[in-house]
Amino acid sequence: MVLLNDFKGASRDQLIEAALLRAKFCETLCTAFGDREGSFSAYLTGMFSVMDAILNCPIETVIRDLYLPAEVRDVLLGKDTFFHELLELAISYERSEWANVLDHSE
C-alpha cells in the first residue's frame, strides 16, 4: 500500500482508503466469527478487492506473480467461500445495502 502513494489523484486516494477499510473490516469480522487464524487472509482479501481498480488492470494480472494464500486467491478469482461472504458483507455495509448485510451476516 505504501508503494501506491506514488499514484496521485483523488479517485486513487479514495480507492486506497476503501481497500484499507475493507481490509480491516474483513479482518475484524473474521476474528468476530471465531477464525483468528484466518484474519490475515481476510485482511488481504479486503485489501486486494479493489486492487484491479487502483492499478487499472485485471485482478488476474495483479495477483499473477504474488504469493497469496489460496483462500485469498480463490475469492479474488470469484470462488464462493467463507472469505467471499466476509467480503460481500463488507461491500454491502460500505454501500449501505442493509438487506444484503443481513443476508451475508447469517
Three-state secondary structure string covering 39-77: HHHHHHHHHHCCHHHHHCCCHHHHHCCCCCCHHHHHHHC
pLDDT (tens digit per residue) in 29-57? 999 989 999 999 999 999 999 999 988 89
Element (H, E) at 23: helix 10-32
Segment 83-96, tens digit of pLDDT: 999 999 999 999 99
pTM of full prediction above 0.75: yes
Whether the pLDDT of residue 2 is over 50: the answer is no
